[in-house]
């Protein structure tokens, strides 16, 4: 013979069970939401940029419609604000970039100097204001480049062909020669193109003028060509092939 114990459910017990059930459901939903947002991240469209170019950023896994603040960390660990964007109803955003607003009297180069103004590895951080989620991406800003070679000799007159890249868009660039004994000869100034390349001057037919001609008054080879970006502060030196 055996007995079955019966439990009497009071109103208080039923309420307690109900509360526990609701709590379990809320916890389950909370963990589900946390799991979905744990994959929040950002990507940068191009991981290699030239000076003054800005990254194009996309993000996923943020809270729907929340504001996402972004900032850049430079190679010297200085921090620059990079605007903000709102996530869409699925918690994503795409194709975001930010250029600092201009003020009266600022040139394009002045504005460029406020963005990616030094070569090296940069980081972009995106933080959701509501979710508190942060993601970090990286990109590399490459420094200025320069190449030159002797293309013509005519008595004391010497002509070199040159090219450069990755300067600030439109910036003024000083050019000079240095010979094997340290003698310096100024070649004047040039302007970078809107894509940061040298040269930018064109002839009457619309062709780039890629040469510089100077009087070789006692210069001793080998020769080096230097270019200094007056807005970016970059100086790059190239050995002149054939000098």
Task: Tell me if 15 is assigned to some domain.
Answer: no
3-state secondary structure of 22: helix
| Domain end position, chosen among 94, 110, 142 | 142
Residue 27 has pLDDT above 90, yes or no: no
Q: Are both 102 and 55 inside the same structural domain?
A: yes
Q: Are both 73 and 105 inside the same structural domain?
A: yes
Task: Tell me if 23 is assigned to some domain.
Answer: no
Q: Are both 109 and 131 inside the same structural domain?
A: yes
112-116, 137-141, 166-170, 216-220: segment of lowest average pLDDT: 112-116
Task: Tell me if 7 is assigned to some domain.
Answer: no
Q: Are both 164 and 225 inside the same structural domain?
A: yes
Q: Are both 188 and 199 inside the same structural domain?
A: yes
The DSSP annotation for 118-141 comes to: SSEEEEEEEEETTT--EEEEEEEE
Which pLDDT tens digit goes with each residue over 59-71?
999 999 999 999 9
Average pLDDT of span 139-154: 94
Which pLDDT tens digit goes with each residue over 157-175?
999 999 999 998 888 999 9
| Domain end position, chosen among 142, 163, 187 | 142
Q: Which is higher by pLDDT, 100 or 64?
A: 64
pLDDT at 99: 82
Cα separation, 224 vs 43, whole angstroms: 40
Q: Which is higher by pLDDT, 122 or 11?
A: 122
Model's pTM, two decimal places? 0.66
Domain that residue 55 falls in: 41-142
Report the mean per-residue pLDDT for the chain: 83
Other Cβ atoms less than 10 A from the Cβ of 61: the count is: 19
Task: Tell me if 26 is assigned to some domain.
Answer: no
Q: Are both 132 and 216 inside the same structural domain?
A: no
Report the sign of the C-alpha dihedral through residues 17, 19, 25, 30, in that order: negative
CATH number at residue 107: 2.60.40.1930
Q: Are both 47 and 119 inside the same structural domain?
A: yes
């Amino acid at each position: 013979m055996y007995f079955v114990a019966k439990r009497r459910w009071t109103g208080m017990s039923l309420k307690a069970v109900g509360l526990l059930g609701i709590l379990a459901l809320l916890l389950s939903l909370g963990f589900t939401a946390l799991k979905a947002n744990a994959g929040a991240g950002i990507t940068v469209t191009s991981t290699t940029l030239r000076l003054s170019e800005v990254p194009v950023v996309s993000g996923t896994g943020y809270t729907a419609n929340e504001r996402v603040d972004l900032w850049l960390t430079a190679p010297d660990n200085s921090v620059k604000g990079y605007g903000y964007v709102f996530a869409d109803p699925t918690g994503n955003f795409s194709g975001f970039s930010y250029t600092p607003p201009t003020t009266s009297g600022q040139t394009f180069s002045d504005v460029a100097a406020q963005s990616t103004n030094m070569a090296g590895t940069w980081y972009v951080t995106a933080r959701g204001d509501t979710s508190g989620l942060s993601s970090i991406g990286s990109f590399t800003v490459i420094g200025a480049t320069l190449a030159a070679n002797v293309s013509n000799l005519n008595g004391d007159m010497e002509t070199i062909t040159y090219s450069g890249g990755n300067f600030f868009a439109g910036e003024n660039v000083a050019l000079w020669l240095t010979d094997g004994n340290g003698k310096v000869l100024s070649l004047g100034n040039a302007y970078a193109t809107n894509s940061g390349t040298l040269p930018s001057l064109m002839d009457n037919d619309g062709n780039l003028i890629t040469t510089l001609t100077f009087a070789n008054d006692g210069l001793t080879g080998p020769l080096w060509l230097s270019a200094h970006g007056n807005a970016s502060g970059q100086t790059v030196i190239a050995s002149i092939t054939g000098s």
